[in-house]
A and B are shown apart, each in its own frame.
Chain A
Amino acid sequence: MRPNTIEALRGIQQGLAAALALEAGPAFAQDAVRTSQMLLESVIGELAMGDANAAADGAALREILAPAAEAVRGLDGALADDMTAALAEPSAAVEGLSCLLERLLVVCEDAVGSGTAEERLLAVRSDAYRHLRGVAARGWSFWDMASFRERMARLRAERS
């Protein structure tokens, strides 16, 4: 079996790491190679889980929005109607559902901020944030950069 996409990207990463280890080069060039390494790491993470995440996100958004339409109707009738219409469409795209979630959370925060949020809206809000936390925790991020840079610098020092 030929190397798949992820394996090929790992090969590129190793090639860059080897070049970085052997050729010190100017600081700017080293930094550019390290950044490219991190970008590859981010892409590999997404490729490995992308399809599964998209399917799971679609299902999760439907579960959140289903009870939300009625919970939000008294505050924003147009949003409630748009949710109902989107949920009736089995092929509604994740991006479209995310737009509705965005509008829903704006209504939720205004209701919470003004002290007018009902229990069922609070429950929907809580489910929405739980989902968003899961999405936000995925993949490689700025958060991981410093440690990655440190690891690369160590690798270079070991090989030189």
Chain B
Amino acid sequence: MRAERIAEYLRTKLPQAEDVSVSNVARIPGGASRETWSFDAAWREGGADVGRGFVLRRDPDASLLETERDAEFQVMDAVWSRGVPVPRMYWLEPGGDWLQRPFFVMERLDGCEAGAQQLLTDPRFVRVHAQIVRSFVDVLARIHALGWRELGLDFMCAPADAGSCGTMEIAKWEEIVEKQALEPQPVLSAAFRWLRHHEPPPAQRVVLVHADYRTGNFLADESGEIRAFLDWEMAHIGDPLEDVGWACIRPWRWAGDERIGGLMERQEFYRMYEEATGLTVDAEAVRFWEVLGNVKLAAIFLTGGRSFCDGRTGSPMMALLGRSVGRLELEIMDLMGV
């Protein structure tokens, strides 16, 4: 990734800017479904010096998930307009003319922390855990209160009715497992049958679901306020309890105990979410979404493993994840009660 090439791109996007320069281009770890790059840009505008930090997310050669960058860009742009904390979206580039592959550019938020280990162990953040928990629930409630049709998000394939949210997600992930698996998957196949026999009641409200709402996917500042929720690439229309279940799954309990997201007791999370949304958290429905969440994560891992084996990526992370489905299967079997 060359700084001068990014600067050339910015000149086309900021025609009023003079002396555009780009520095400190660095790849950021994580974000396995798209490459994430940080850079600083400086220019002169209206006689004044301007400096700004940006994040650029570029399509990879191969990914953990094959998702639509255009949809992610549109969703983040739409929710930003309603005050949901997300980075401001600037430009979407659907072709490979500029940087070999499609990408989008968004605001960089400095002075925040996203890493789960730091958020859970660094004293600067430990002392504000109560505020982070409050913010975590409030942001989720705000997302679930958005009118997705008014936001122009009806291009996203919505379930036919409130009763088919679970059915639609089962079908989506079953298709991915069938396409990506390289060997027999007895636990996942059994889990799909279990899910069909344990579908939850109709969604109380059909909402915009973030679908990756968890510790490790937000930027918090030292006051405990969540300044941005990241990674909207799996967002879709569905049952709000899907986000509740996903937030609860064991891989995101980074503290190594039963606390949800490493931050809060399960009943506390349910109570706060109910107060913030007016919805009821049905524990059995959350169990369904937790089983599906673990299956979904396994499907994502299998996709990474497949990309590695097909030679579409040499990333050691893809190879590692492709070999790491076992513990998810244990969790799935525990949740199924078998």
Contacts and interface: CB of A to CB of B under 8 A. Distances in A.
Interface residues of B, number: 37
A144 to B, nearest CB: 8
B190 A142 contact: no
Contacts of B329: 132, 136
Contacts of A123: none
Given A27-B29, A132-B333, A102 B185 contact: yes
A99 B183 CA distance: 8
A147 B256 CA distance: 9
Given A138-B326, A141-B327, A102 B189 contact: yes
B190 A105 contact: yes
B330 interface: yes
A107 to B, nearest CB: 9
B187 A125 contact: no
Interface in B288-338: 301, 316-317, 319-321, 323-324, 326-330, 333, 338
Nearest to A138: B326
B184 A98 contact: yes
Given A26-B26, A35-B316, A35-B317, A146 B117 contact: yes
B80 interface: no
Given A26-B27, A28-B27, A32-B316, A132 B187 contact: yes
Given A28-B29, A113-B196, A146-B117, A42 B183 contact: no
Given A102-B186, A106-B193, A146-B254, A35 B320 contact: yes
Interface string A127-160: 0110011011111111101110110000000000
A109 interface: yes
A108 interface: yes
B193 A110 contact: yes
Contacts of B251: 142-143
A105 B256 CA distance: 31
Contacts of B328: 142
Interface string B184-211: 1111011001101110000000000000
A97 to B, nearest CB: 9
Contacts of A137: 326-327, 330
A99 B184 contact: yes
A145 B29 CA distance: 14
Contact of A129 (B183, B324, B333): B333
B28 A28 contact: yes
B197 A113 contact: yes
B30 interface: yes
A31 B29 contact: yes
Given A142-B301, A149-B117, A95 B193 contact: no
A5 interface: no
B301 A98 contact: no
B116 interface: yes
A28 B319 contact: no
B93 to A, nearest CB: 22
Interface of B: 26-30, 116-117, 183-187, 189-190, 193-194, 196-198, 251, 254, 256, 301, 316-317, 319-321, 323-324, 326-330, 333, 338
17 contacts: A35-B320, A36-B316, A38-B320, A39-B320, A42-B324, A98-B186, A99-B184, A101-B184, A102-B184, A102-B190, A110-B197, A113-B193, A129-B333, A136-B187, A137-B326, A137-B327, A140-B324
